[in-house]
Amino acid sequence: MTLHSIDDCVKLNNGVEMPSLGLGVFKMDDGQAVIDATTYAVNVGYRLIDTASIYNNEKGVGAAIKQCAIPREKLFITSKLWNDSQGYDLTLKAFEKTMSDLQLNYLDLYLIHWPLPKNNTYIATWKALETLYKEGRIRAIGVSNFEPEWIQNIINECDIVPMVNQVEFHPYFQQKELRDFCEANGVQIQAWAPLARGIIFEDETLIKLADKYGKSVAQFVIRWELQCKVATIPKSAQRERMVSNADVFDFEIDEQDIKAMEGLNRNMRIGPNPHEFYKVRL
């Protein structure tokens, strides 16, 4: 992964290039709030916008995309299939609604939001994503919150290896085993909650490390994630913070400090455990 500017991309296992840094719009209200946030992001250089059907703001994201001056092919738009739409036919139906709400002709990346392993529907759901991918409706397909065993089941039973696995990843939850598995199988890790929803900002070790490089804790952590070959989508609705979060391409963390970061891992989730999460509504 080159780390020179916000334009840098990771190459997925099908050759599609995905921006290494993007904007997540989780819990942003639909309408003007998410329209403004998406517009700010595009104007300051972000090209990846990550939404989901359960966020209930795909319409606002779509409106912002139509209004912005950036050509559609320069943007990378991700959405995710929610739990109540798993299964082959329901997935196809849910995808059509997402596309209608986003007002797009194609999607850059579509993810299964949660595995729901006890329901045992993710294989049928994945086959629906394969159909949409083969039809050219989606440029890349992937999963979110999947453990190695579930990805391996997809590899064993389906035609296409997932291109992305979007998971919780931050200094307190580093998921080394999962990252190693995904790297070995050509699956790109992308981090949600990369700043642990702010709980890391008072960490003395992180403050000292960030100060060493003349950066904020957020900037240091985002840079660390990129150097760990993890794409990342920090959320912010504020233009100034978006600019700050993207100001991570003028320094490099040395190997000693990368190693020191391993000591911060607590195997501490701030989000749900995918083995247990079955909610239909957030």
Nearest to 80 by CA among 65, 63, 66, 61: 61
Taking residues 116-125, what's their average pLDDT? Answer: 97
Taking the CA atoms of the chain, what radius of gyration do you get in angstroms? 18
Q: Pull the structure tokens for residue 231.
A: 């794409």
Residue 280 lies in a domain: no
Nearest to 188 by CA among 218, 167, 172: 167
List helix spans (H) across 6-138.
Answer: 32-44, 58-67, 88-102, 122-134
Please state, in angstroms and as integers, the Cα–Cα distance from residue 11 to each residue in 167, 186, 196, following that order.
Answer: 18, 10, 26
pLDDT value at residue 155? 98
CA dihedral defined by 6, 189, 259, 223, rounded to 10 degrees?
Answer: 20
Q: Is the pLDDT at 2 greater than 90, yes or no? A: no
Residue 74 lies in a domain: yes
Residue type, position 65, single letter? I
Residue 3 lies in a domain: no
Q: Are 109 and 76 in contact (CB under 8 A)?
A: yes
Kindly list the catalytic residues.
Answer: 55
Q: Is the pLDDT at 170 greater than 80, yes or no? A: yes
Q: Are 178 and 147 in contact (CB under 8 A)?
A: yes
pLDDT value at residue 54? 96
Which pLDDT tens digit goes with each residue over 9-46? 999 999 999 999 999 999 898 889 999 999 999 999 99
Which pLDDT tens digit goes with each residue over 66-119? 999 999 999 999 999 999 999 999 999 999 999 999 999 999 999 999 999 999
- Any idea what the CATH number is for the domain that residue 215 is in? 3.20.20.100
As for how many domains the chain has, the answer is 1
Q: Say how far apart CA 248 and CA 186 lie, in whole Å.
A: 26
Taking residues 192-205, what's their average pLDDT? Answer: 97
Residue 70 lies in a domain: yes
Mean residue pLDDT across the chain: 97
Quote the pTM value: 0.97
Taking residues 153-161, what's their average pLDDT? Answer: 98
The residue range of the domain holding 201 is: 9-262
pLDDT value at residue 27? 87
Q: Pull the structure tokens for residue 264.
A: 């911060």
Taking residues 54-70, what's their average pLDDT? Answer: 96
Judging by beta carbons within 10 Å of its beta carbon (0-12, 13-18, 19+), is residue 127 exposed, middle or buried?
middle
Q: Are 75 and 107 in contact (CB under 8 A)?
A: no
Query: pLDDT category, 281, cuts 50, 70, 90?
Result: confident
Work out the percent of the chain whose per-residue pLDDT is above 70.
100
Residue 117 lies in a domain: yes
DSSP string of 87-118, one letter each residue = SHHHHHHHHHHHHHHHT-S-EEEEEES---TT
pLDDT value at residue 1? 72
Work out the percent of the chain whose per-residue pLDDT is above 90.
96
Q: Is the pLDDT at 250 greater than 80, yes or no? A: yes
